[in-house]
Chain A
Amino acid sequence: MRETKYWTWHMAAGVVIFFLLGLHMLIMHLGGTTHLFAPFGGEAVSKVNSVFRDGRLFFTVTYILLLGVALYHGLYGLRTILFELTLKPIVEKLVTFVFVVLGLGLFGLGTWAAIVVHAIAKTGARG
C-alpha cells in the first residue's frame, strides 16, 4: 500500500503543478497582454516587477509550493523509470534514499532562497 500512497500524492502533485504552471504562464508569458502582477509595465521579468512579486507572501508561498510539488512529482517519476530497469532491491533502496536526500536538499535550498528574496524585497520596499 505504500506505493498507493506515493502514487496518490504523485497524481495530486500533478494537478497542483497544472494550476501553478498555468499561473506562471499567465504572469510570465502572457504578461504583455494581461499585465498580471506586473504593475510597473514592461517585461514581467524586469527587476521592479520581480521585486514587487517577491515581496508578496502569496508568491513566496506559491514558489515554495511549486518547488515542493515539482520536485516530488519529477523525482517520483524518475524513480519509477529507473525502477523499470529491473534494479536489484538494494539499488532500489539506494535510489530512493538518494532521491529523498536530493529532493529535501533542493527543497531546503529553494525555500531558503525564496524566504531570503522575500525578506530583501520587503526591506527594499520599506527602504
Chain B
Amino acid sequence: MPESAKTVREISFHVTRYNPENDRAPYIKTYTVPVHEGMTVLDGLHYIKENLDPSLAWRYSCRMGVCGSCGMLLNGHPTLACNTQILHIANADLTVAPLPNFEIIRDLVPDLAIMFDKHRSLKPYVVRTDEAEINDPAGEFYQSPEDLEAYLQYTYCIKCACCMAACPTLATDARYLGPMPLAAAQRYNEDTRDDGRRERNRQTGRAYGAFRCHYAGECSRACPKGVDPAKAIQHLKRRLVLDYLHLSRRKKPCAKLHGPGQGKPLPNIPAAPAKTA
C-alpha cells in the first residue's frame, strides 16, 4: 500500500473458501481490510494474503482488465476484481465468491477448462480453404472498415467467463455452449476473411447451441469489456435459420491483395520490416 494512501474505511471481506482436499463444502471466512481511495478488490485480496491469511487462492495476472484471469463474484455480480474499486461497490461489507456455473478448483479459482473446450469446439479462428495462404501469407486480405465494424466488438472479449457466470441457462444446463463461445463463433462468422461458418453451424445449431439461449441478456450486462454476447447469439440464430432455409447470400471470403502497394495504408505509418524467415 503506498504511504500516501490514507485508510478511508475498514471493509469486511466475506470470502468464499474451499479446498476440495480438506473441505466438504465451500464456507465463508471474514477478513477486515483497511481500504483507501482507488483500492481495487484485487488489492484487497493481496492485502489479505500478505497480512491475514497466506492460504487464500485466486487467479490473476495483468492487474489492468486485459487478461481476464480475475473474474469473480463481487457482491453477487460477476466482474473483474482488478477493475473494480472497493469503495465503488461496498460501504461496510463485500462478498467475494468464485464465479458460479463452474467447479471450484480452490477458494476463488473456478475451473474454466469446460468453457475453453466449448470455445475450441467452435473453431475460434479464421477458417479458409486456401490453407497454404494461411500458413505462409503472400499478401494481405482486404477488409473494409465496415467489414471490421461487423465483428469488432466481439474481438474485445477477454474470456474472463463473467458472461458464463451470469447466464441463467448455463446455471441449469451445463451442456449449453454459453455466451462466450457463441459470441466467439459469431465473431469469426462475421469476419469476411473467414469461410468456416457452415462448419461452425454444425455445432452452434445443435441442441445445446444458440437456440438454448432465452435472451435474458445477463451476459451483456455482466461483460466488463462492454461486449454484447446476447446480440451475437441472436445474430447467430438468425444466420442459422437463413442458412437452413438457403436464404443467405453466399459470399466468397474476401480477396487477397497481391504484392505491396495495393492496399491504402494510413499516412505516417512506417513500412513493415523485411521478412526474416
Contacts and interface: CB of A to CB of B under 8 A. Distances in A.
B244 interface: yes
B202 A11 contact: no
Interface in A72-127: 83-86
Contact-size category for A = 10 to 19
A2 B202 CA distance: 9
A47 interface: no
For chain B, what secondary structure do more than half of its interface residues adopt (helix, strand, loop), or is it mixed? helix
B173 A4 contact: no
A1 to B, nearest CB: 4
Given A3-B205, A4-B205, A7-B211, A86 B244 contact: no
B241 A8 contact: yes
Contacts of B202: 1
B114 interface: no
A8 B244 contact: yes
A7 B241 CA distance: 8
B201 interface: yes
Nearest to A5: B244
Nearest to A92: B207
A101 B173 CA distance: 26
B258 interface: no
B175 A4 contact: no
A86 B211 contact: no
B211 A84 contact: no
Interface string B46-88: 0000000000000000000000000000000000000000000
The winner among A3, A11, A83, A86 for most chain B CB atoms within 10 A is A3
Contacts of A84: 169, 172-173, 212
B205 A1 contact: yes
B245 interface: yes
Given A4-B211, A7-B241, A84-B173, 4 more contacts: A1-B205, A4-B205, A84-B212, A86-B173
